[in-house]
Structure 1
């Protein structure tokens, strides 16, 4: 049985098979639209914007 998912960009049904090199997207166009949304900040991964990355020294690095 082949799994069918909806394209995250256009909601078209997409067969989840190795031959579909754009999965979960239906096409390269939809894949690029999604990438563009990430690049412009439309999509974000949650977190506190006040968080700062730890200093390099905190990971046991050598100076």
Structure 2
């Protein structure tokens, strides 16, 4: 099996990647949005706004966290 990032042979420790570097590159692509899972669902702006408001409300109503 070859590394999906650079094409080198995959290392057992980092499979399917050849190294930690290539595994980290792949993770960074997921985290910055370079990779995305397509969705057939249309985004409803009102639904998104409602979800954000609800999350903010829940956060403000949560008990304050004490520092360690």
Could you state the TM-score of these two structures normalised by the residue count of structure 1?
A: 0.60
Unaligned runs of 5+ in 2: 45-68
Matches for 1:1-63 after TM superposition, within 5 Å:
5-14=1-10, 20-48=12-40, 50-51=42-43
Say how many residue pairs are matched.
44
Give the aligned partner of residue 58 of structure 1. none
Unaligned runs of 5+ in 1: 53-63
Please state which structure has a larger fraction of its residues in strand.
Answer: 1
The CA distance in 2 between the partners of 1:38 and 1:48, in whole Å, is 19
Quote how far apart the aligned CAs of 1:14 are: 2.1
Aligned partners of 2:39 and 2:25: how far apart in 1?
24
Q: Which has the higher contact order (CA 8 A, sep 6+)?
A: 1
Q: State the TM-score, normalized to the length of structure 2.
A: 0.56
Larger radius of gyration: 2
> Hey, which bits of structure 1, 4+ residues long, moved more than 2 A?
none
